[in-house]
């Protein structure tokens, strides 16, 4: 997720113009981009890239604005694990975001991901469970490199604080005094990737606390659950989760600019309602209201929405 896309929040740019600006990529040439998991594509300028792209997407429908590249998707019931990194004392983010993890599965919103499938036409399911949490008391300090974020995940698994689950997505959630040195608040608000941990391919994500940089990473300063950082994180967690299940190894579903499904709708919310405290929300999951960015529907030509069908 790249924060620059927040320009769209201001309504100054249409979605199309916003994406064109964010990508800065012509699509009428033979440029091919691959996803980074951080919300932007990376130019594949190696020889034969366009021919390989054509071969990899052969047979994949191109009419919905996103292509299948042959890699796995996450099938069956998937699990959300949280690693609360830093100091969360006195912050009710754990209550809000645990609720969120317990209610996103089965929702009309997460059902969008069921329009994504693998080479055997097996579709992502709308089954997501909350798997539990671990705490990490600054084991890697307050400025985390990408490698240290993987270490945080690996430590939670190898110490037994969390189970090793190849159907899991492990979210490293950092308190507002912690940053990620590859670009939290300046290049992205969160990202997802995968790595080999204890011999298994483990999917994980970094999501920072937008309280550190609300103008970059929070959609609003008064939020439905009265905690702008936590409400901002809910939207980012949703984004990274849906990208993880449809593109866990960065070789399944993305477009020619390297945009994964949620990237194509980042920081757009559709129809908004007003909560009792004056904040905006666009969905209710369980007993709470949230303002969650839309996701790309891989059907009917492709479009952003908060539900499918
Ligand atoms: Zn993304």
Q: What is the pLDDT of residue 18?
A: 34
Task: Give me 207's structure tokens.
Answer: 């999501």
Residue 10 Cα, ligand 1 centroid: separation in angstroms?
A: 20
Over residues 45-69, mean pLDDT = 78
Number of domains within the chain? 1
Confidence of residue 181 (pLDDT cuts 50, 70, 90): very high
Q: For residue 293, is pLDDT > 60?
A: yes
Q: What is the pLDDT of residues 67-113, one digit of tens each?
A: 999 999 999 999 999 999 999 999 999 999 999 999 999 999 999 99
Q: Which residues contact 131 (CB under 8 A, 6 or more apart)?
A: 79, 80, 81, 162, 163, 165, 168
**What is the domain extent for residue 152?**
3-305
Residue 276 Cα, ligand 1 centroid: separation in angstroms?
A: 30
Confidence of residue 62 (pLDDT cuts 50, 70, 90): low
Task: Give me 43's structure tokens.
Answer: 């130019």
User: What are the two backbone dihedrals, phi and then psi, of residue 155, each rounded to the nearest 5 degrees?
Assistant: -65, -40
Residue 265 Cα, ligand 1 centroid: separation in angstroms?
A: 9
**Angle, CA of 247, 281 and 211, to the nearest 5°:** 75
Residues near ion ligand 1 (Cβ under 5 Å): 1, 39, 243, 263
CA distance 102 to 306: 18
Q: What is the pLDDT of residue 160?
A: 98
Residue 280 Cα, ligand 1 centroid: separation in angstroms?
A: 22
Q: What is the pLDDT of residues 252-291, one digit of tens each?
A: 999 999 999 999 999 999 999 999 999 999 999 999 999 9
Distance between terminal CA atoms of the chain?
24
Q: What is the pLDDT of residue 26?
A: 36
Residue 263 Cα, ligand 1 centroid: separation in angstroms?
A: 4
Q: What is the pLDDT of residue 254?
A: 96
Q: For residue 182, is pLDDT > 70?
A: yes
Q: Enter the pTM of the model.
A: 0.90
In 3D, which of 165, 156, 159, 157 has the Cα closest to residue 135?
156
**Angle, CA of 250, 114 and 149, to the nearest 5°:** 35
Q: What is the pLDDT of residue 3?
A: 52
- The number of residues in the chain equals 309
Residue 134 Cα, ligand 1 centroid: separation in angstroms?
A: 24
Residue pair 66/242 in contact by the 8 Å Cβ criterion? no
Residue 245 Cα, ligand 1 centroid: separation in angstroms?
A: 12
When comparing pLDDT for 233 and 28, which is higher? 233
Q: For residue 49, is pLDDT > 60?
A: yes
Residue 251 Cα, ligand 1 centroid: separation in angstroms?
A: 14
What is the per-residue DSSP string for 206-234?
EE--GGGSHHHH-S-SS-TTS-HHHHHHH
Q: For residue 9, is pLDDT > 60?
A: no
Q: Which residues pair with 136 in a beta bridge?
A: 85
Confidence of residue 22 (pLDDT cuts 50, 70, 90): very low
Confidence of residue 29 (pLDDT cuts 50, 70, 90): low
Q: What is the pLDDT of residue 59?
A: 59
Q: For residue 185, is pLDDT > 90?
A: yes
Residue 261 Cα, ligand 1 centroid: separation in angstroms?
A: 7
Range scoring the smallest mean pLDDT among 8-12, 64-68, 75-79: 8-12
User: What are the two backbone dihedrals, phi and then psi, of residue 3, each rounded to the nearest 5 degrees?
Assistant: -70, -25
Residue 38 Cα, ligand 1 centroid: separation in angstroms?
A: 6
Q: What is the pLDDT of residue 2?
A: 58
């Amino acid at each position: 997720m790249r924060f620059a896309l927040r320009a769209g929040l201001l309504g100054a740019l249409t979605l199309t113009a916003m994406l064109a600006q964010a990508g800065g990529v012509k699509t009428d040439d033979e440029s091919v981009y691959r996803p980074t998991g951080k919300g932007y594509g990376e130019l594949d300028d190696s020889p034969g890239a366009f021919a390989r792209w054509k071969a990899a997407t052969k047979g994949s429908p191109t009419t919905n604005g996103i292509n299948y590249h042959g890699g796995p998707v996450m099938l069956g019931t998937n699990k959300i694990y949280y690693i609360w990194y830093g100091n969360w004392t006195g912050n009710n983010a754990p209550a809000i975001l645990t609720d969120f993890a317990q209610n996103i599965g089965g929702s009309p919103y997460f059902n969008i991901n069921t329009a994504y499938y693998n080479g055997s036409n097996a579709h992502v399911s709308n089954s997501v469970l909350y798997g539990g949490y671990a705490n990490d008391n600054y084991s890697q300090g307050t400025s985390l490199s990408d490698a240290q974020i993987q270490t945080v995940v690996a430590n939670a698994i190898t110490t037994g604080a969390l189970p090793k689950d190849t159907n899991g997505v492990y979210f490293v959630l950092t308190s507002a005094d912690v940053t990620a040195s590859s670009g939290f608040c300046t290049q992205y608000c969160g990202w997802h990737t995968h790595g080999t941990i204890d011999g298994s391919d483990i999917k994980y994500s970094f999501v920072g606390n937008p309280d550190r940089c609300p103008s970059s990473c929070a959609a609003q300063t008064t939020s439905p659950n009265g905690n702008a950082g936590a409400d901002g994180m809910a939207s980012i967690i949703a984004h990274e989760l849906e990208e993880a299940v449809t593109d866990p190894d960065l070789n399944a579903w993305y477009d020619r600019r390297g945009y994964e499904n949620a990237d194509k709708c980042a920081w757009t919310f559709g129809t908004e309602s007003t909560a009792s405290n004056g904040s905006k929300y666009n969905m209710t999951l369980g007993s709470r209201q949230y303002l969650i960015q839309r996701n790309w529907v891989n059907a009917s030509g492709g479009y952003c929405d908060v539900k499918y069908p």
